[in-house]
Amino acid sequence: MNLKSIIESILFVSGEPLAISKICKITKQEKEEVERALGELAKEYSEGKKGIGIIRKEESVQMVSNPENSEFVGGLVKSELQESLGKASLEVLSIVAYRGPIARFGIEEIRGVNSSFILRNLLLRGLVERVNNPRDSRGYLYKISFDFMKKLGIEDISGLPDFEKLSKDERVNSVIESENKEVTEN
């Protein structure tokens, strides 16, 4: 087992800060081994002049872009924010609007792909907001923002087209229920 590679993949896919204890649980490794692998990864990134790095805050770590590339990364983010919403962004926004508050995991279960970057862009645009997850203090839920409602000209979320039908679709409920079950079991 290549622990560094596994941790690197987990951090990349997560797109958000991860508690070291969660990494230990996922990899089934002791904290000392995870800490060692994280240290080696951080060293490799900084010595090799890579485009990514690892930052640490208290007992959480996150994969980030290299600050030396901020001009170019900023250009990408700015262009993403200034362009109209693409199909994937509209898809995520629809899921949040009709199924929110919902965890990122639930969005990804419905879509079948990682949605971290899209959620980040929607957050920056002010169309969704992130709130603490009452079922899991380590995670967040996403819901639509007041700006979203203002832009659509609706007074209440139930003003969305076919809200009653689409917000209660049983196929989607089964995905969300399995997500909630997994969160409470962990």
pTM for the structure as a whole: 0.52
> Quick one: average pLDDT of 94-107?
87
pLDDT band for 155, please (50, 70, 90 cuts).
low
Residue 77 lies in a domain: no
102 or 174: which carries more pLDDT confidence? 102
pLDDT band for 157, please (50, 70, 90 cuts).
confident
Count CA atoms within 13 Å of residue 156 on its CB side.
Answer: 4
Would you call the peptide bond into 101 cis, given omega within 30 degrees of 0 as the criterion? yes
Say how many domains are in the chain: 2
- Is residue 14 over pLDDT 90? no
Which structure tokens are listed for 63?
């994969």
Give residue 178's pLDDT: 53
Q: In which domain, by residue range, is 168 found?
A: 84-185
> 101 and 28 share a domain?
no
Contacts of 104 (CB under 8 A, 6+ apart): 16, 115, 116, 119, 139, 140, 142
Which structure tokens are listed for 101?
């508050």
Q: Which residues pair with 129 in a beta bridge?
A: 143
> 177 and 95 share a domain?
yes
